Structure 1
């Protein structure tokens, strides 16, 4: 027979091993979702679609998800008011946007 002390020590060691395996599995499955998009922060804005609501020549304002953001355009053509734009990057509080062509 196994003594009581050895039994409790083996139960404790098994519990510790399963704790660390569970922590590793949690990190693997929940922290690193393969192919997932960021859901918060500036990286979550990249790839979203917005609409130009104001352009006074120097500043452009784009509405994305119901919020107005200052924007700068990248690309060949400057979008006009009412055009749909795609967010390419975020620089501080400014969005870098590109006009969506009719075919896209």
Structure 2
């Protein structure tokens, strides 16, 4: 991939426009947050670790990975499945992460 190809993707997906749309998240004390590249169609990705538990989180802004009806966060694992919530619902996002990394 060339730099021009990357700029085309950034423009097509309006990455700069998302800066003001993605909400700030106040993570719990003690969590280690690792920002990772947005692979497989995700707009953003990160992992949260506490102790020996890790939650994987991504933001799907265009429903390229799953269906939700609007931009959403997905957290894995939550129980034996995944958890999803609306992008703006950071309280629910934090709840899903807590469930994922609970001892």
TM-score, with normalisation over the residues of structure 1? 0.22
Quick check: which one's helix share is greater? 1
- Provide TM-score, normalisation by structure 2: 0.22
Structure number with larger C-alpha Rg: 1
